[in-house]
Amino acid sequence: MMVGFAPLAGIGLLFIMEHAYTFFNKKTGNAWLSAVFSAVIFLLVFSHVLYGYYEVDTFSGKNIAYLMYPIHEQDYDAIRYIASEHGTGHIILAGSATSYAVYPVGNSYPVAIVPGNLGYGDVEVVCKFFVSECNEKEDMAYRYNVDFVMTRNVQSCGFLREVYNDSNGLYIYRVI
């Protein structure tokens, strides 16, 4: 569904740009100045769209902008670990950002992905899982046929067996 919005957004931007150019051209009578105004509107739209897609390193004093990635290298390694050590096709309960990478990286399935982007599964289950008591977690895990849980928090529930942890505090638990 989100794929359909991209062409609509492009058509909408083209519509706005053409009307802004026509409006400024009628008001100023100068095509060059109208093009400049239209370009400014275009830059304002894109600066708003791209705001937050990068992180500025201010600690080094260089003010370099780095692209932000939805998952970190350790998340990637953990998903690859599940695929290489336990096979593919599993259902993995992970945080919302990590869930995007579960299928493309490990050929497994997330419990949920944020509805505003791909709209798969029940995001509330993921949120509730990490704040619930063990008996509720167990019910959710079995209800959604979860095979693995990826988290940055230690889970001390009897139905979860730790199969992976790294030095950055990322844990993978197998539902037993």
- Name the domain count of the chain: 2
Q: Are residues 78 and 54 in the same domain?
A: no
Asked if 124 and 151 count as a contact pair (C-beta separation under 8 A), the reply is: no
CA distance 116 to 5: 12
Rounded to the nearest integer, the mean pLDDT of the chain is 83
**pLDDT tens digits for range 58-101:** 556 666 666 556 788 899 999 999 999 999 999 999 987 788 88
Q: Are residues 59 and 130 in the same domain?
A: no
Residues of the chain with pLDDT below 70 are 1-4, 49-69, 114-120
Residues spanned by the domain of 50 = 2-67
Q: Are residues 102 and 158 in the same domain?
A: yes
On whether the pTM is more than 0.85, the answer is no
Please report where in the chains the tokens 């309960």 appear, as a residue: 93
**Residue where one domain finishes, among candidates 34, 67, 100:** 67
Q: Are residues 17 and 79 in the same domain?
A: no
Q: What per-residue confidence (pLDDT) applies to 38?
A: 82
Burial class (CB in 10 A: 0-12, 13-18, 19+), 120: middle
